[in-house]
Structure 1
Amino acid sequence: YVKRNTALLWARTFLSELMKIEVSTTVPKIKFNDVCSAYSQAKKRLFLLDYDGTLTPIVKNPQDAKPSPRLLKALKDLTADKRNQVYIISGRGREFLEQCMAGLPVGLSCEHGLFFRHYESDQWEDLLSGMEFTWKDIVLPILEDYTERTPGSMIETKEVNLVWHYRNADSDFASFQAKELVVHLQNIASKLPIEVLIGKKVIEIRP
């Protein structure tokens, strides 16, 4: 029994079952009048806004998630007040987010914080110092294997991170493949300087 049920098998089973659990979190609602009152009295205001699924809807093709004219106007109006500092936070790459927010004095945080540009600045900073990227040579072939066996899935290669999208694949089959992929990546994560992020129909690997 002990030989058959190894620690590795237990870990795989545990991670597989963990992914089946949906955690429900209820965020208490804030009264609108309280928000308006606090806003009007504040001398400085900081807005941290998520991009995908918040400012823009989730779409089948990630490149189609462009800001609407209404959103751009709202951000323009918000940043017109010098008491407001607005930051857009996203897993997106720098080039995509720069194009979407062109002309707006907003701060940007890209690839989950690996690259950031401060409010009213055009200079980028990064957290890449000391990082090594040989892990990509190991992870990319794994993603290519799962992409080949999962019709409709695709790989997105960012400046640093690698992303596996399966939003356009068969839901049931792709979900099964995604769970297998996560277990596979978690098994090698202990030997590589990587972190596996699980999103909505997306798996992202970052240092």
Structure 2
Amino acid sequence: MRPMREVPLALARWEELSRRLEGRRVALFLDYDGTLTPIVPNPEDARLSEAMRTTLVALARHYPVAIVSGRDLPVLKGFVGLEGVFYAGSHGFDIEGPGGRSFQLEEGKALLPELDAAERELAAGFAGIPGARLERKRFSVAVHWRHVEEVRAAEVERVVDAVLARHPRLRKGGGKKVFEVQPALDWHKGRAVHWLLRALGLEGGDVLPVFLGDDLTDEDAFQVLEGRGLGLVVRGEEVRPTAADFALRDVEEVRQFLERLITRTGGTAR
């Protein structure tokens, strides 16, 4: 477990951060929920603001951009709706980009029938827990418990753990008021970033991968890029263990940071 530490705010330390960008080809990897859009009670309401959409359009003209999310790939593409960027859905199990380039982890595809069975068992287990909601994605089943009474929160996890005990080839991931039942494979957002860097021809030492994310699942990407790239955690006032280098307070600071990348002197284009 990493120690709790105060991560410096990116905008307050912009000159220091900007020096790390000098002479480097920057590639942007962006989480969606909690990073490009605020966390909302109903996940289907997490839409890009017009200001953020405008920023992303401009950003993609200057830098390679990939959206890396736990969202199902078709949902993610529908929410963002931009051409010329890569999309990595289901925590990187399902990737698609311009020119027809795509990737699906074969080991993950082999476990789809087991995910189907787990989904049915989870639905039966949550039938008596008001507020619990399942969201089936191609490579995972999300268990949303934001609207479950606090006294029954532990019961939600017990149901998930009981189902996983019957399906040892699946594992439990976590997020903000959500559990993810997914293939128990060595694949996550960090591995997806590595794949994307190779696919985009951005493995050279002159490239600086920059990852922005807010959730525990984004720590995999921060750790993979530690010492190699730059991680920025969107954390509000929360202080938690993180491998990120800098912090942003909220989605608006994310937008301001991206705007500074667009306008910075000497910004390296594609």
Which bracket does the TM-score occupy, shorter chain normalised? 0.7 to 0.9
* Residue in 2 that maps onto 1:99: 78
CA distance in 2, matches of 1:107, 1:54: 17
Q: Please give the residue correspondences for 1:25-174 in structure 2 after superposition, counting only pairs within 5 Å.
A: 25-26=4-5, 28-29=7-8, 31-39=13-21, 41-81=22-62, 84-118=63-97, 120-128=98-106, 131-173=110-152
Q: Distance in 2 between the 1:134 and 1:99 partners?
A: 26
Report the 3-state secondary structure (helix = DSSP H, G, I; strand = E; otherwise coil) of the residue aligned with 1:148. coil
Query: 1:133-186 CA distances to partner (integer Å, 9 max, x unpaired)?
Result: 33135312321123211111111111231111111222332x122231243144
Contact 2:123–2:134 at 8 Å: present in 1 too? Answer: yes
When normalised by structure 1's length, the TM-score is 0.76
CA distance in 2, matches of 1:91, 1:171: 24
Q: How many residues of Structure 1 are paired with residues of Structure 2 in the alignment? A: 179
Contact 1:114 1:128 survives alignment (8 Å) = no
User: Relative to structure 2, which stretch is displaced further, 157-166 or 99-108?
Assistant: 99-108
Segments of 5+ residues of structure 2 without an aligned counterpart are 184-270
Cα separation, 1, equivalents of 2:82 and 2:132: 34
Amino acid at match of 1:198: G
2:134–2:142 contact (8 Å) kept in structure 1: yes
**Which SS does the other structure have where 1:134 is aligned?**
helix
Aligned to 1:18: none
More off after superposition, 194-203 vs 125-134? 125-134
Aligned partner of 1:199 in structure 2 is 175
In the alignment, the residues of structure 2 paired with residue 42 and residue 141 of structure 1 have an alpha-carbon distance, to the nearest angstrom, of 52
Gaps of 5+ in 1: 1-21
TM-score, reference length from structure 2: 0.60
The C-alpha deviation readout for 1:20-68, integer Å capped at 9, x for no partner, is xx987435325211222333x2341011111111111111111111111
2:68 is matched by which residue type in structure 1?
Answer: I
Distance 2:16 2:127 in 1: 52
Aligned-partner residue type, residue 181 of structure 1 = V
Instruction: Report the CA distance shift for 1:33/1:69 in structure 2 as closer, same or farther (over 3 A).
Output: same
Q: 1:23 to 1:63 in 2, by over 3 A?
A: farther
Runs of 4+ in structure 1 over 3 Å off: 22-25, 120-123
After superposing the two structures, state which structure 1 stretch, 138-147 or 71-80, moved more.
138-147
Higher relative contact order (CA 8 A, sep 6+): 2
Over 3 Å counting, the alpha-carbon distance change for 1:185 and 1:25 in structure 2 is: farther
Measure the CA separation in 2 of the matches of 1:178 and 1:23: 27
Residue matched to 2:166: 188
Looking at structure 2, the residues matched to 60 and 146 of structure 1 have their Cα atoms a distance apart, in angstroms, of 22
Q: What is the identity, as a one-letter code, of the residue corresponding to 2:54?
A: K
After superposition, give the CA deviation of every residue in 1:73-99 in whole Å (9 maximum; x if it has no partner).
111121121xx2111110111111111
Q: Is the 8 A contact 2:119 2:136 kept in 1?
A: no
Q: What percent identity do the matched residue pairs reach?
A: 24
- Shift in Å, 1:122: 4.1
